Structure formats: structure tokens, C-alpha cells
Structure 1
Amino acid sequence: MPQRVQRALLLSAFAVHAVSASPSPVLAVPSQAWTSLNASVSGRLHIAAPAGLPCFTSYDNAWGLEASTPNAEQCQTVEAGLASSIDIIQTFGSYHNPTFSTCMARGDRCTLSASGPKGIVNSTCFQGTVPDYYVDAREVQDMQMSLEFAQKYMLPVTIKNTGHDYKGRSAGVNTFAIWTHNIAPEPEIDENFTPEGCPGVVGPAVAGSCPTVGPSGGWVAGGGHGIFAPVYGLGVDNAMQIKVVLPNGTFVTANRCQNQDLFFALRGGGGGTFGVVTETTAALHKDQEITYVFLQMSIPEVPRTIDEIFVTNAEKWADEGWGGLYAVSGNVTNSTARFLGFNTKLSVEEARASLKPVTDYLESFPSSKGTLIRQFKTLPSQWAAQNDPVLLSFLLPEAGVSLTRSSRLVPRSNFQGDEARKQLVDFLMSSNFRWSVVLGAPTNYSLPESDKPGGPGEASVTPACVSSALQILEPHSQRCSLALHYCAVLGSCRSSCHQPRSAQQQFSTISTQMDPLRAMTPDGGAYQNEADVYEPDPIGSFWGARTYARLLNIKKQLEPDNLLSCWNCVGWNPEDERHGCYLKVRGVGP
């Protein structure tokens, strides 16, 4: 391995590394050019390192292999924040799903485990997919300077906000990154918001950001579902205006009255592709009381009956405005059923009537067979709903854990008729009794004329987001098998979870398990933010042929060199070097 040669610059503790030759395109850029860029972004250009580096004794990145001095105090701080969403997003080299900061194809990593041994590791920290350089953007000019620099030197660009992503789209081998997380102004409420260039007021709106899922980042870019989407629509439906820095550095505003193609692309076309979003203004809804339900019980029999109840009532619950999730987990001898629901339309008594098929079934077992947890109550506000401890208990354990999932949006037609419902139940029973449903489709939201196909406010999400009653997830991560970070601090793992072949098998299994449901739902699709990493038909599942053709045309007009790209994004090339650490699964990959 070539040794690194360092040339220190007296600029905000920023150092430029130079070597005679390297496969990384960032190293072909003259050092004086980096110095100039650093000055233009007020010293906010940094060499990127994986968050776990303080815990390792050597370091291998684009500049080669060298000794690294570990820091016990910093290592302890990193380890303490492994399971905290808020802590994870504060560091550029840290990712919610740490597998995607590793080089899965080679088994190279620099990740730690919240459940593994602590302290310094006598091993090598690998750069993995963490970009080589990044700009900690704090203002529009930082983004403009960064993108103009990337265009000049033809650098592949990665855009990262919080790093809360299930497919690794905010990381990339040998890339130059723009980190937008620290652009987080206080939300501003405008009771009479008028989008720029529009003739009139559209109503109350709010501009701001969220601590772990950035509404100005991948959430809206992927569609934006949530527990209130069945009534208020997706994030794309509520976006009134988006400000963005284009790949050529131009700063523009997009809404239903101007830059309509860009507005279309930014609302469902996928993140990291069309530019760097700086601000999103969204519709503001009046706060109100929320009907809340949580049911949970172990099922002392094969769970087919509860599967049938869930499938039979899915369309009805969608029409009644339920958001949330329900799930069955376990095995043939010990399964657990859960229902977590939020409803802005039904009273508590109406909610009891709505869910009576479930509660009647769960109450039919003697108390000796299992304890039924049953909560029906009124929450005072949307804030209380979004911060419900049960909801957070489902979400928070994912922080810092490497898992994957496969999913499918299931159209209403698949719930209509005995044979169609039987096919769905058979599928759920074949999935080893572990699955979950997200009630996040905008079933009770009517698109205004302006947002229907062909209108100025049309969004680029798959039509299945609107036509489906729910989203079925199979989170069969087998966490040891896919959680590569579990093995990072162990001298030798008893399992083969650190082996690329094992991870490849797991990804392949998770992907192919969804194939029967894909075949049953030809008019379905996938919510791209929670989709199979190796989705076999990303165009058909995420957008549809007509929408994708329009998106690709917009992409080529904005940036024909495709410097802004990511895995499964519009116009991507699976053989691009930046994707070189993904696995080859189902014929897709490097």
C-alpha cells in the first residue's frame, strides 16, 4: 500500500493530502484548487472520515494505509451515541444504517456495535463508502461554490442530509460530498403564504426541518409518507414551494407556477439527483385531538386467522383514515400480533367499532394463553401522536442498526374478492410469520385538479402510492447476517456475518421473498424510501415508464454529466465507481 504524503495548510485545520497516483478523482484535483475552494466556503471544506476512526489503530482510505492514533475518549463518545438517532446525525461520517458506509463487496468497514465489546480495536478502519471530502454547507453560497467546483473538475457528488436512509444513497465511494444537515433554521409560519410567481395565497404554510428525517431532503424526494398521510396526503402533496441549487450552481425557486418540471422532479423523483434543496415550504394543518389505539398479544396458534382479519379489513381501515402500522411476528408456535393506529376522523368509540374484529379475536383466547395489551384513548395533539412512546419504540431501535427490507404497495383491487384476499393471506403465511404493514397511503386525500396527471402540480411518485390501500414490509434482516458492524470489533465472529457472500445471500433472500407479491400486484409499486435495495424493476416500481421518461429528460437537461447520482436514482449507472461497494444481487451491481 502506498504511504500517504500530507501537506498541511494553515486554513481552519484543513489538510490537503497529495499522492502521485490514485483511483479517486478527488485526488486528481490540484491542491491549490482545494485551497481556493476552502476559502470560498469559509473554511468549511473537510477531509471525511468514518465516525469509528478514533477506535482503530490504522486507517485505509483513498490515500493509502497508515498508522492511526486512537483516542479512547473520542472512541467512548462514538460508542455512546451508536443507538441515538440525534447523536448519529451530528457527524458527517456516521450513518443510520451503518452497513451502507462499509464496502460490502470487500467486507471492509470502520463500524462499531452498540452490543459488542467496547474500546480501542487493534485493527484497520476502512473508508468504505464514506466520501473523501465534504463541505459542511451553512448557506446557499457554500452549495453553489461546491457544485461549480465539482462541475469544473468533473467530480462525482454525494448529497447527505441526515443519513437516515435504507439504501445508502447519501454515501458513495471516492466522491465529493455536500452535507446539508447544519442548514436548519427555525421554522417560520406564514398564515397567508403566496408562492413566488403565483397569483394568490395558498393558505398557512411552514418552512423548516426535522431532526432525524429531513423534510427538505430524501423524505419529500421519495414521496414522504407518514401516520397522517391517509388524511392529509403525502409530503409531495403538501409541498408548496422548494428552493434548490441546481448542478450548475444556479439558485432557483420551484412551485406550481414556475419551474414546474423541477417541482415535479423534486417531489418523488428521488434525492441526490436534480440539485441540492435548501428550503421546503409545506402546507400547515390545524392541530387537533387524535384517536390512538395500541393492541398487542401473543397468538397461541398458527396466525392465519389474524392474517385473514387484517387482510379482510385493510381496505375498510384505509377508508376510515387509519395511519400507523400493524404486524405479525414470530413463528408457528409463538406469534405476536400488533396494531398501532392514529386516526383524525374517528372518535374513540368509533375506533372500538372499527377494530372490533381484531379485539373480538384476541379476546377469544383464555387469559392463560396470553396477555392482551389494549389501549384506546385520545391524544391532545399531532405532536403527542408523533412522540408516542410505542411509536418511538418501533422506530428508535433502527438507529445505528444495519438492516434491510423489501416492500410492496398493494392496490385496492388485491383486497376485493375472496380469491384475491386468500392469495394475500397465503403470501403472508409463506413469509415465515413475520411481516408488517404501513398505513401511510393517502387514501382519504383527494388530489386537487392542479396536482392530477398533466397538471402544474403533478408529483413524480408512483401512481401506486395513491391507488394502494397499504404497504407491506418484510423486514427479514436477520440482523447478525446483515449487521456487518456487529463483527467489526470482534477478533473473529462465530457467524459469517462479516463475509460479503453471506450478506449477498441475505439481500438476495429478502429481495426474492417479495417476488410472489410482485407477481400478484402488477399495478402495484414500491415506496422508494423503504424499498428493496435490489428492487428488480426500480423504474416500474418507483415511478412507471411515463413518469421515468419525463424525469430522465429533466435530469439530462439539468446535468448531462450525471455527477449527482446515487443507487437506483434517475439516470444512474450501476457500474459507476461510486457504487462499487454494493453487492451484485439478482444481476444488479458492480
Structure 2
Amino acid sequence: MLGIVPHLAWIAVAAASSVDHWNALNSSVGGRLHVGIPLARPCFELADTAGSTDATQCEAIRNGWTNSLFLVDQFGAFMNTEWGSCQKTSQSCLIHGLNVSDPTPSDPPNVCEQGSVPPFYIDVQNASDVQAAFTFSKQTGVPLVVKNTGHDYKGRNSAPGSLALWTHNLQSISYNASFVPAGCPASNVKPGVTVGAGTIINDVVAFAEANNITVVTGAETTVGISGGWVMGGGHGALANTLGLGVDRVLEFKIVTPDGSFLTANECQNTDLFWALRGGGGGTFGVVLESTTLASPKMTLQVAFAAFSPNNTNATRGFYEVLAENSVRWAQQGFGGYIEPFQALYVTPVLNSSATADTMQPLFAYMESLAPTDPGVQVFATEIPSYGAFFETFIANSGAPVGENAVIASRLIPAANFANETSRASLVDALLQTLAHVTFDLTLIATTPFNVPDDGSTSVTEAWRTSIWHAVAEGGWDGAAPLVNETAAYTGISNAADFLRAITPDAAYQNEADVHEPNHEVSFWGTHYPRLLEIKQKYDPDNLLMCWHCVGYDPNSPRFSCYI
């Protein structure tokens, strides 16, 4: 018998289910139905959840609270902690991310509450596990969510009273230099790396390095490369010349809500393949693995420039230099990441002397700051591989985890860089946005500027003409009053309005405002009507529904914790 029956009260639709249903589900998935327990539960004396107080476990949790490699292995953990909370009701189970040793949040009278952590989850090992979950959801009405590594800025991997499909432990990885997508002619052969849904970027980069190949990835080490990262678009430092993740994926293995286990590629289930290449994760089915194009190992040129973070007087001049030169740098294959006080660029196209020459305007500006700013750094260097670049410049500089985060993004097209007037307006908007964020403003120069839209993907066409992907970041620490949380969402959306005012409706769905206006156009451009048709074909009952995903219903109880 299932040993979790006392916690059935957490299921919002318990009346539609029964102990027999849960026992049958547990049996059908080989006993891998588990109770979902909030990560910080062992630190609380008082709780309205499963689990128990445990000082040893609590110490390990406090030590790992801001470590994504720790969090990714915990079902009850979310990289941005508000998505384990029910924000609308202020029900949560959190400690302070900025002061993990502070016992106050977990001491009485504070109570650990389930929040938005799914009260049950299946540790997915194969297609039949997913098929069983779909059958169960249809029979009982219990909502489903797909949770992989815990990275999601919009809460699509949690929901109150839900059953989660945890794909994190699908961590296979292999390389086939002569991969042919199933059902395709032998002439379609390409080198491919096949990865399970839970395989994280850190492991993919290391695998590629060991096999002397290059695989395009994002910057966050613990993001799953087969999950929402690729299905939402998948930008990375080499996207400018090698394409987004969706440009490079060769095949998906997926379980659709009707229970079918399908292969989607350019030769079979082509409509689904198109939808999965940009339509978003957790929407059309549950992907178990994907195969992505591998490129040869390549030498990269890196340019880095920085000044002291507290030298805010230098920020306008910094942005002006970047705005004046960024179209040219994009044409030369540069991708990279820009903070308000530093820029990291990388290209596989130029040699070292050409890189030094083209970066001279940026380097000269930095050198002009050096006499009064001891924090100035400038260098250009050659790196032997993407793996070496990743380990040296990216792996230890990821986004903050273990705290609440709100973001908003905008794709900034080449038109905003076209002349002196448009560049001045852009710099003004950046400075206004920066003044209104509580964390940071990151400009991500990883758009596929040199990879034209061939119609094979469903991401917005705006990716192809954009120079920057701007991300404004804010948030709060630990549990907070509803009014403070609401203010954080409103504030970050207002900050992005300065960029919205001068750009077309275009944003990256994986890193977007929770309340993105006109999101169908912003995320998918002209592709939304076709995506909706495909969604209705493969998921007519809307079993997979997530916030701002294709076909979502904002009035669903699934979203009762959103504010």
C-alpha cells in the first residue's frame, strides 16, 4: 500500500481521486511515486507538510541553499525560491538566502507549509512512467507539472495540489559521429550528441570536451539541455554563429498526452518537431531525450573589459561605446554577456590580431578610466575550446540561486543601433531601466545574428535581427509580505517599460516578465496560431498547462498561487 495516504488532503482535487487511484499509480511506476517535501522542511519545528525536523539535514540544506549543484538533486528545491511558495496566500517554507545561518525564519511560530511544491511526484525513468501519469490525470483531474532541474523564472515547474513528473534523473549522454534521425535517409547523417532530459549543461560541456567536439549550451551549469532551455529557444555564447539550441536540435523522443511515445524530427512528426523547436517546454508532451548537432572543436577569441562596479559615472560612456560598435561585433561573430560594469565577448570567427583591432574602441574607453579607477581590467586572449572558455569565464558566474527573483526581458533589434539618434535613445532607456532594477541589468549578446531564420523553428523571428537580449532582474529575500512581492513584480515590469517603449514586442520566453504584455506575439511573433493548432492536436484536453505557455488559461486553478 502507498505510504503517503495521510497527505492526500494536500491535493486540491482529492475528491476526484482515491487511495486506490494513488496506490494503482504507485504500482504502475514501480514504486517511484514519492511525497514532495519542501527543501527547508528539516529546519522547521512546526510544519503542515510531510517530513520531520532533522538538525543534520538542516545543516546540509543551509550549506547547499545557494549551490545549484546541490539544489538540482533535491525535488523540493527551486532555484528561485518563490516558486516553491504559494505567493498569493504567503504559504511557504523558506530560510534566508542572504543569511542561511539565521534560524529566525524556521523558528516557531513560523510554520513550514507546502506552498506550491507539488505534494506528489514520479521519479521518471521511462516512457511508461509518463504514460501512467497522463492516464491518472485524466481519471482524477489532478493537474500535472513537469519539473527537471528547478530552473524556471515563471513557475512552470510547480503548482499547488499537483502531481509532478521529475525528469532530472534521465541523465544519459552519448555521441554518434554518424547520427541519422529515425526515419530519415542515410544522406541526412550528421554528428549528434544524444542527452537525457535531466542531463545538465555542466556535464554536456565536459563530455564534449572529452570527445573533442563543440556543443552549444547556455551559461547556467545546472540547466537541463534537453528541457525547457532548448524548447524555449536556447541561447548561449556561441549562438551568434552556431545558432540557438532550437537551430541545432536534430531529434526529440517525447511522450504526448494521448500516451503515444513519439520520435519527432525533420522526417516524422514534423509538425511536433517544429513546435518543440521554440514552442516551449512542458507544453506539447514530456521530452525524455534529445539529440543535438555537434560541431568540431574550435579555437575561440575572447575579449574582456571591466571597471569598478561603484564607478557609476562610467556607465553611460560604457553603454555608448557598446551601442556604437555592437552591430559590427555581431557581424564578426561575437557573442557574450554584458553587465553594467563589464563586457565579456567571444568569437570563433576572427583571429587574435583582428579581435584586438575591432575591440580597440572598448579597450580605449577602459584605458581612459584607468588613471582614476584601479578596477579597470582589459585583455584579449585565445582559448583552445568552448569547454575551456566555459570553465574559465562562465561556470562560476551563473545567476543567483536560493533567493526569490523576478525578471523581465527584451530583444533589442539592430534598428536601435542604426544611427546616433537611435543609439542615444537606447542608452537613455538602458540607464533608466538600470535605475529601476533592484538587482541587475544584463545585456546578452547571444542572438543568432548570423544564422538566418529558415522556417524550421517556432521562436519569434525577432531573434534573427536582434543584437542584444536585455534582462532586468529584481527580487526579495526569504518569505515576505504579499505587498512586497507584488511590488517586486510591478517594479521589474515597470523597469522593462523603458525598453518596451523603443522596441517591438519581442522577449525570450524562458527569461521573461511573469506578466509579459502581449506574450503570444512577444514570444512567438507570427507563429502563435500554428502553435496553438499543434497544441490542440497533441493535447486536446490541455493536460499540460503552464503559465504563458501555448494554449494556457489564466483562470485555471493551476495558477492560484500567482500574483
Q: Same fold (TM over 0.5)?
A: yes
Aligned length in residues: 529
Aligned-pair CA distance for 1:375: 2.7
TM-score (norm 2): 0.90
Q: 1:123-180: per-residue Cα shift (whole Å, max 9, x none)?
A: 2111111112110011222112122221222221100110111111111111111100
More moved, 562-571 vs 433-442: 433-442
Q: Give distance in 1, aligned partners of 2:390 and 2:441.
A: 22
**What is the aligned partner in structure 1 of residue 327 from structure 2?**
315
Q: Give distance in 1, aligned partners of 2:148 and 2:122.
A: 12
What is the SS of the residue equivalent to 1:240? strand
**What is the aligned partner in structure 1 of residue 38 from structure 2?**
50
More moved, 197-206 vs 163-172: 197-206
What is the SS of the residue equivalent to 2:38? coil
**What is the aligned partner in structure 2 of residue 253 from structure 1?**
263
Tell whether the 8 Å contact from 1:294 to 1:340 is kept in structure 2 after alignment.
yes
Q: 1:480-514: per-residue Cα shift (whole Å, max 9, x none)?
A: xx23x2x4xxxxxxxxxx11111111211110221
The verdict on how the C-alpha distance between 1:577 and 1:144 changes in structure 2, with shifts beyond 3 A counting, is same
Aligned-pair CA distance for 1:121: 2.5
Q: Give distance in 2, aligned partners of 1:504 and 1:527.
A: 22
The verdict on how the C-alpha distance between 1:15 and 1:27 changes in structure 2, with shifts beyond 3 A counting, is farther
More moved, 235-244 vs 339-348: 339-348
**What is the aligned partner in structure 2 of residue 501 from structure 1?**
483
| 1:453-464 matched pairs, under 5 angstroms | 453=455, 458-464=456-462
Amino acid at match of 1:391: I
Q: 1:250-270: per-residue Cα shift (whole Å, max 9, x none)?
A: 100001111111111111111
Q: Give distance in 1, aligned partners of 2:100 and 2:178.
A: 53
What is the SS of the residue equivalent to 2:425? helix
**What is the aligned partner in structure 2 of residue 117 from structure 1?**
101
Instruction: Give % identity.
Output: 36
**What is the aligned partner in structure 2 of residue 581 from structure 1?**
561
Q: Give distance in 1, aligned partners of 2:353 and 2:62.
A: 46
1:359 to 353, 358, 363: 363
The verdict on how the C-alpha distance between 1:366 and 1:288 changes in structure 2, with shifts beyond 3 A counting, is closer
Taking only aligned residues, the RMSD between alpha carbons, in angstroms, comes to 1.9
Aligned-pair CA distance for 1:88: 0.3
Q: 1:209-250: per-residue Cα shift (whole Å, max 9, x none)?
A: 325111211011110000110110000010000010011211
Q: Give distance in 2, aligned partners of 1:361 and 1:47.
A: 56
2:548 to 556, 564, 568: 568
More moved, 432-441 vs 573-582: 432-441
Amino acid at match of 1:126: E
Aligned-pair CA distance for 1:302: 5.2
The verdict on how the C-alpha distance between 1:74 and 1:300 changes in structure 2, with shifts beyond 3 A counting, is closer
What is the SS of the residue equivalent to 1:224? coil
Tell whether the 8 Å contact from 1:441 to 1:466 is kept in structure 2 after alignment.
yes
Q: Give distance in 1, aligned partners of 2:48 and 2:448.
A: 47
Q: Give distance in 2, aligned partners of 1:410 and 1:431.
A: 14
Residue 518 (structure 2) pairs with residue 530 (structure 1)? no
Residue 190 (structure 2) pairs with residue 190 (structure 1)? no
Amino acid at match of 2:470: I
**What is the aligned partner in structure 1 of residue 29 from structure 2?**
41
Tell whether the 8 Å contact from 2:193 to 2:291 is kept in structure 1 after alignment.
yes
Q: Give distance in 2, aligned partners of 1:18 and 1:529.
A: 33
Tell whether the 8 Å contact from 2:62 to 2:100 is kept in structure 1 after alignment.
no
TM-score (norm 1): 0.86
Amino acid at match of 1:240: L
Q: Give distance in 2, aligned partners of 1:504 and 1:18.
A: 30
Aligned-pair CA distance for 1:46: 0.9
Q: Give distance in 2, aligned partners of 1:113 and 1:391.
A: 26
Specify every segment of 5 or more residues in structure 2 that has no aligned partner in the other structure, as ranges. 202-221
1:304 to 302, 316, 320: 316
Q: Give distance in 2, aligned partners of 1:324 and 1:366.
A: 23
Q: Give distance in 2, aligned partners of 1:29 and 1:147.
A: 14
Q: Which has the higher helix share?
A: 2
**What is the aligned partner in structure 1 of residue 116 from structure 2?**
129
What is the SS of the residue equivalent to 1:514? helix
Q: Give distance in 1, aligned partners of 2:370 and 2:33.
A: 64
**What is the aligned partner in structure 2 of residue 402 from structure 1?**
404
Tell whether the 8 Å contact from 1:98 to 1:402 is kept in structure 2 after alignment.
yes
Q: Give distance in 2, aligned partners of 1:26 and 1:374.
A: 61
| 1:401-550 matched pairs, under 5 angstroms | 401-432=403-434, 435-447=441-453, 452-453=454-455, 458-475=456-473, 477=474, 479=475, 482-483=476-477, 485=478, 487=479, 498-522=480-504, 524-544=505-525, 546-550=526-530
Q: 1:320-340: per-residue Cα shift (whole Å, max 9, x none)?
A: 111111121xxxxxxxx2011
Q: Give distance in 1, aligned partners of 2:52 and 2:290.
A: 42
What is the SS of the residue equivalent to 1:170? coil
**What is the aligned partner in structure 2 of residue 168 from structure 1?**
155
1:138 to 125, 137, 153: 125
Aligned-pair CA distance for 1:75: 0.9
| 1:218-297 matched pairs, under 5 angstroms | 218-297=228-307
Tell whether the 8 Å contact from 1:300 to 1:369 is kept in structure 2 after alignment.
no
